[in-house]
Structure 1
Amino acid sequence: MKSLLDQLPAIVADGKKEAERVMERAESNYRLGLQTRELVVPSKDSKWQDLFREKRGIAGDVNLDEGSALIYGDNLLAMAALIAGGSRNETLRNKIDFIYIDPPFDSKADYRTKIVLPDSEIEQNPSILEQFAYSDTWADGTASYLQMITPRLSLMRELLSDVGSIYIHIDRSVGPYVKVIADEIFGRYNFENEIIWRRTTSRGGSEYYNHVHDNILFYTKNGCGIWNQQYTPYTDGYIDGMFRKVDDRGRRYRESPLTAPGRRDGDSGRPWKGVDPNQMGKGRHWAVPGFLRHLISAEAQCSVQRSLDELEVQGRIVWAKDGAGRPNVVQYVDDLPGVELQSMWTDIGLEAGPEYDTRKPERLIERLIVSSTNADSIVADFFVGSGTTAAVAERLGRRWIASDLGKPACMITRKRLIDQDAKPFLYQHIGDYQVEQLRSTMGAKFRIGDLAEIVLGLYGALPLPIEENPNKNMGRLQGSKTLVLADSPNKMTGLATLRRAIEIRDNLMGGWDKVVILGWNFSPMIGHDIEALGQGDRLEVLVIPPDLLDRLKKKGHKLKADEVRFASLQYLKLGAVTRKQGAKDESLSVEIANYVLLSPEALNLDEANRDKLQKVVNADPLALIEYWSVDPDYDGEVFRSVWQDYRGNTDNDGDPYRVGRTARLDGLPKKDGARRVCVRVVDVFGFEAEATAEVA
């Protein structure tokens, strides 16, 4: 077994190649895109009327290319889509000024989710998709983790602007190895500092010193990142001890060296005014203090020697009288509002919000963002967690991009942003996710028909004769007159598919008693379309497990039919939808009547938790709704969520475990003709459903 040190060169080389393949696809005709699932215009139910008056018309005015975005999906694919851009999205390559990541680094972490329902608590294991991602990350311990992080760091460098910075939050177990990889990707000389963050003042239980800190690696893309120096307040004792000299105007000052430890290439390592920086101490380089940057012209900012020339002209450099010819910099007390922030942070401790239970304090992220961004900067976080980076960036007025593989993380982040009345933002998914997974799992030459054949086999269907089944996507259940049709992963199973399946059922090979459709992606209206067709037991639609491609990648042909569960669809039923028009505006009332959950047996629950869930399903199915929103004028393309309610929002009904059942929207712009109202719900497990109503 090779040591990690022996494996590192191959890990870095393979990770860079994977990133290069992603870049090649981004520059080719095939581009992985982002699908906008929702344009969120935050206005919690009880605040609807006031906020709508402030934001009247904003849902139609938002530029989809320039807004902040919350992206659900594998961050490798999310970054590929951001780099590729496309007809509906600008490329963000070389445009992001700040990236903060806090990737999971505990291989023994418990990713189970506790879901509190009105009369019980359910413990859900991670979704199968998340399980595979986490197990891949730690399959071979730290080596697997490094294989995961390397291509992602490479893509992050591509996204960074020329003045961009990245902060990598890590712990002691993987930190040294990540540092070596990051040095290779970003350049050893672009490593600016390591921040030691003291999370807590004390703890017990450790045999060899108690561990109370995390590490944050700080790199710039080109050694010249945006920098806004931060300070901690002076104390009287500090001023008396450090600023002992007084000039002829009575200003207190001190003289400080113009060098810093470490040899550097470039002009910071070359002699200036005949003085080699190594004369100031072995292994040093010229370093301009940050507090004097405002005195240096923009043209000289990225040249140390030109900066020194300008400072000397302004009288800020003095030459020591010790005969050694050492240049020093003059610093006055009032040059700075306090002590320049150092690399060890002991003034920010852990915080736990009432709902988000975040372990990364907002003050910590705020300090990083303020230090390394300007007002027009784009901020990104590709392991969003509880949404702290997005929430802080929003509060600071920065545009942000946040991504996570975990549906719970995205749900929490969306609610958190609505809670703080964020500006409108996009909620997006990875477009053609299964197709991309298919390419990486089966290879570019693998045909969709071959996958359909595998899906049919896992369902237990025998393929139809090839002359009747050239696409290999139809089969039959042995001993019955049931036809099975496997839909394509690059299609949306909707009304057209249902009608085609009924036609095939009635006419192919003399006709069949029943047709079963196995689908990957579904039209949000699929439940209503099935009901409207009135086929009863002769038409059934089932969900292909979203993790199937990952499981095939791991097990291949060893995957057995009894290991795969095909689930029934979830769907939403609306109650009364009423509309009243006044002289200048109109109002809308929308009720949700029922919610039918995806087959409980398909959820990743043990038997005890499944029994608890079934009791809730039987007694109060609407208690399973985590979040619901309304678009009062749906155009069929972009869902504009301008009213939201969710569990935990007690402004309206006072019940933290239930959502309200009626949306009331007053002050809507008056509209002639019918209004198409669309409602979307997300349940506590992250499944989504949609229903629309035409209101005259």
Structure 2
Amino acid sequence: MNVPLGEEEEIEKDQSTIEMIAYKDMWGNGTDSFIQLMYERFLLMKSLLSEHGCIYVHCDWRVNSFFKLLLDEVFGKDNFRNEIIWSFTGRLMYTEQKFNVKHNTIFFYSNSSLHKINEVTEEITREEYIKMKKQEVHTDPDGREWIWGHSGKGKSHDYKIFIDEVVKNGKCLNAVWRIPIVNTSSMERVDYPTQKPEALLERIIKASSNEGDLVADFFCGSGTTGAVAERLGRRWIMADLGRFAIHTSRKRLIDLQRKLHSENQPYRSFDVYNLGRYERQWWQKERLHGADSEHRRVVLEFYRAEVLPNPVSPLLHGRKGPALVHVDAIDSIFTRAEARAAAEAALTAGARELHCLAWEFEMDLRMACDALQQELGVRIRLFHIPREIMEKNRTTPPPFFEMANLAASAVVNAANGDEPVISPHPGLPPEGEGAVVPPPVGDSSKLPPPVGEVRRGNKAIRIRLDRFLPSLTEVPFKEVEALQERATKTPFDFIDFWAVDFDFHPGQPFNHHWQAYRTRKDRKLPTITDPFVYADSGSHTVCVKVVDVFGVDTSITLEVEG
């Protein structure tokens, strides 16, 4: 798939987009392992279904025949309902080898005989209905057109079918659905490679659920299921292994919230949960026999660092050149407390550089490590452990990238109209060697004044992005060198979404008090928020969340006086 960068629209492809891999086989044995993966997941899905529930399964011709056998085994042949043919038009090209493929298959199974389909009809025109019936059209004295309907044998059972009523109510559905694909000019297109049309999901959700019911999609891709379910008043759960899929779905649902809000329609908030550690725990149990030491050995081997045979501290696990290496546990988040302890251990061992490898990092950790570096004199570098090391039979080391670097500051406008005063962000990385400083966001004295009324003398707070250095963890290897240069020169091009919780409380959900993001049609992105006025004065914690074009989250906190 092509992921756009920055605000560029009419620039050469290699400058404005990145070619990313949407899907890859990480299970080792191609189709065999994929079929096993799906079998296990179908069993889980069946266990989650209500007694009245059902499942719709779509995949292409490569594995459809395998899926049908799996679904027969898991759900039972008696619970097979339909093989739905999703038919669509498009450009036809002559080929000597096969006919043009203009359909996909969807398997429809219920969890029991209790499942009932809601009455769903399909739009039909007057001309389509007349052509389908192949009958003479009659006209009543009042001008209404009708044809004969047959409820039994013999003309005595014939009755009139008024064509205007059929056109108004639609025709009953069969198992062939003619629904256009999401083409390049479609308003709902989000440029995700497997995006399904909303009309397709709307038909499925209306047929097999009612308002308030729960709909789940465990391979959600671009988030069509959640968007349609939300619009139709259903509860929903979506899941995906890909960061970009989750990020695309999040932006799509925020777009829907804004649309519903503008139409004075009800909408709900939603949460995004990171469950990535379960994948790692499975890998440790199945491949590494549950051993933490084996996990650290594998990570160090891919990082091309030597294992320390007799480390002076249990926090030091390897050495790479002059630097000592710490590898965090597979199911934990690397915290500032661990960073301090590891840095002090490295200092005791006589090292001046420490590399910390982790799957996840505590919020605001980069700033804390910069402060530790100034205090202890030990350079601390934070590297993401790449997911690729879990791929079976992988021998080539994937690149390890440093975590993203983010800095922001509070812009304070007093109620009496004083000029803005920049509240410096504590712990900014020192400028100079090793620091990446993007072009200034703008002259603070020229910032627009706050909008809205400022009451009771409280200050209007705005948050400004000052610095961002993206992590290139998800970037294909062939793109890395070119993107590293661009990330240094124009790092804000890599920001796709950012949001601010002006009253953040650790351990509680992040509240999107303000948010901005790029869309397919509008690539511009503001780097300063609208004004926010606190209801009470005093100190408040602000959390700034940035999601880059690869779907990677980076967050920091700062203290402001409201």
TM over 0.5: yes
490, 512, 515: which is aligned to 1:644? Answer: 515
Contact 2:281 2:331 in 1 (8 A): no
CA distance in structure 1 between the aligned counterparts of 2:381 and 2:160, rounded to whole angstroms: 75
Report matched runs for 1:154-553 at 5 Å.
154-200=43-89, 203-207=92-96, 208-232=98-122, 233=124, 235=129, 254-255=150-151, 337-346=169-178, 348=180, 350-352=182-184, 353-354=186-187, 355-357=189-191, 359-421=195-257, 423-430=268-275, 432-433=277-278, 435-443=280-288, 445-466=289-310, 468-469=312-313, 471=314, 473-477=316-320, 480=322, 482-508=323-349, 511-533=350-372, 534-535=374-375, 538-551=378-391, 553=392
Partner deviation per Cα, 1:275-315 (whole Å, 9 max, x = no partner): xxxxxxxxxxxxxxxxxxxxxxxxxxxxxxxxxxxxxxxxx
Partner deviation per Cα, 1:168-198 (whole Å, 9 max, x = no partner): 1233333222112111111101111111121
Structure 1 residue 568: Cα displacement? 1.9
CA distance in structure 2 between the aligned counterparts of 1:462 and 1:211, rounded to whole angstroms: 53
Contact 1:624 1:684 in 2 (8 A): yes
Within the alignment, does 1:573 sit opposite 2:412 as a pair? Answer: no
**Paired AA for residue 405 in structure 1:** L
**Paired AA for residue 110 in structure 2:** T
- Structure 1 pair 357/205, CA: closer, same or farther in 2 (3 Å)? farther
**Paired AA for residue 536 in structure 2:** K
Task: Name the residue aligned to 1:52.
Answer: none
Task: Name the residue aligned to 1:617.
Answer: 487
CA distance in structure 2 between the aligned counterparts of 1:435 and 1:201, rounded to whole angstroms: 42
CA distance in structure 2 between the aligned counterparts of 1:548 and 1:344, rounded to whole angstroms: 41
CA distance in structure 2 between the aligned counterparts of 1:237 and 1:465, rounded to whole angstroms: 82
- Give the number of aligned pairs: 482
- Structure 1 pair 525/177, CA: closer, same or farther in 2 (3 Å)? same
The alignment yields a C-alpha RMSD, in angstroms, of: 3.4
**Paired AA for residue 639 in structure 1:** F
Partner deviation per Cα, 1:41-84 (whole Å, 9 max, x = no partner): xxxxxxxxxxxxxxxxxxxxxxxxxxxxxxxxxxxxxxxxxxxx
Contact 2:316 2:346 in 1 (8 A): no
682, 686, 691: which is aligned to 2:547? Answer: 682
**Paired AA for residue 501 in structure 1:** A
Structure 1 residue 566: Cα displacement? 2.9
What is the aligned-residue identity percentage?
28
Task: Name the residue aligned to 2:39.
Answer: 150
**Paired AA for residue 415 in structure 1:** K
Contact 2:214 2:236 in 1 (8 A): yes
Provide the secondary structure at the position in 2 that maps to 1:193: strand
Structure 1 residue 115: Cα displacement? 2.7
Partner deviation per Cα, 1:621-676 (whole Å, 9 max, x = no partner): 212111100101000122112311111287xxxxx33410100144x550232111
- Structure 1 pair 176/583, CA: closer, same or farther in 2 (3 Å)? same
**Paired AA for residue 646 in structure 1:** Y
Task: Name the residue aligned to 1:124.
Answer: 19
Structure 1 residue 392: Cα displacement? 1.0
Contact 2:500 2:542 in 1 (8 A): yes
Report matched runs for 1:8-157 at 5 Å.
112-117=1-6, 118=8, 120-126=15-21, 131-133=24-26, 136=27, 139-140=29-30, 142-157=31-46
Structure 1 residue 345: Cα displacement? 1.9
**Paired AA for residue 99 in structure 2:** Y
Contact 2:150 2:158 in 1 (8 A): yes
CA distance in structure 2 between the aligned counterparts of 1:649 and 1:202, rounded to whole angstroms: 24
640, 647, 659: which is aligned to 2:525? Answer: 659
- Structure 1 pair 333/618, CA: closer, same or farther in 2 (3 Å)? same
CA distance in structure 1 between the aligned counterparts of 2:198 and 2:48, rounded to whole angstroms: 24
Provide the secondary structure at the position in 1 that maps to 2:100: coil
CA distance in structure 2 between the aligned counterparts of 1:453 and 1:530, rounded to whole angstroms: 25
Structure 1 residue 612: Cα displacement? 3.9
Contact 1:634 1:677 in 2 (8 A): yes
- Structure 1 pair 569/331, CA: closer, same or farther in 2 (3 Å)? farther
- Structure 1 pair 692/583, CA: closer, same or farther in 2 (3 Å)? same
Contact 2:458 2:537 in 1 (8 A): no
Structure (1/2) with the larger strand percentage: 1
**Paired AA for residue 216 in structure 1:** I
Partner deviation per Cα, 1:366-386 (whole Å, 9 max, x = no partner): 111111110011111122222
Partner deviation per Cα, 1:323-376 (whole Å, 9 max, x = no partner): xxxxxx999969994532111123555544345146522112111111111001
Task: Name the residue aligned to 1:11.
Answer: none
Q: State which drifts further: 332-341 or 196-205.
A: 332-341
Contact 1:351 1:361 in 2 (8 A): no
- Structure 1 pair 401/477, CA: closer, same or farther in 2 (3 Å)? closer
Question: How does the TM-score come out when normalised to structure 2?
Answer: 0.76
Question: How does the TM-score come out when normalised to structure 1?
Answer: 0.62
Provide the secondary structure at the position in 2 that maps to 1:161: coil
Contact 1:587 1:664 in 2 (8 A): no
**Paired AA for residue 678 in structure 1:** C
**Paired AA for residue 502 in structure 2:** P
Within the alignment, does 1:604 sit opposite 2:500 as a pair? Answer: no
Structure 1 residue 465: Cα displacement? 4.8
Task: Name the residue aligned to 2:446.
Answer: none
Provide the secondary structure at the position in 1 that maps to 2:273: strand
Structure (1/2) with the larger helix percentage: 1
- Structure 1 pair 243/338, CA: closer, same or farther in 2 (3 Å)? farther
- Structure 1 pair 528/330, CA: closer, same or farther in 2 (3 Å)? farther
Q: State which drifts further: 353-362 or 150-159.
A: 353-362
Structure 1 residue 476: Cα displacement? 3.7
CA distance in structure 1 between the aligned counterparts of 2:555 and 2:351, rounded to whole angstroms: 31
Structure 1 residue 167: Cα displacement? 1.0
- Structure 1 pair 347/387, CA: closer, same or farther in 2 (3 Å)? closer
Partner deviation per Cα, 1:221-241 (whole Å, 9 max, x = no partner): 102214211224584687896
CA distance in structure 1 between the aligned counterparts of 2:18 and 2:178, rounded to whole angstroms: 36
**Paired AA for residue 408 in structure 2:** L
- Structure 1 pair 373/331, CA: closer, same or farther in 2 (3 Å)? farther
CA distance in structure 2 between the aligned counterparts of 1:175 and 1:686, rounded to whole angstroms: 30
Q: State which drifts further: 485-494 or 182-191.
A: 485-494
Contact 1:449 1:472 in 2 (8 A): no
- Structure 1 pair 540/191, CA: closer, same or farther in 2 (3 Å)? same
Contact 2:325 2:355 in 1 (8 A): yes
- The one of the two structures with greater contact order (alpha-carbon pairs below 8 A, sep at least 6) is 1
- Structure 1 pair 512/584, CA: closer, same or farther in 2 (3 Å)? closer
CA distance in structure 1 between the aligned counterparts of 2:38 and 2:149, rounded to whole angstroms: 47
CA distance in structure 1 between the aligned counterparts of 2:106 and 2:539, rounded to whole angstroms: 55
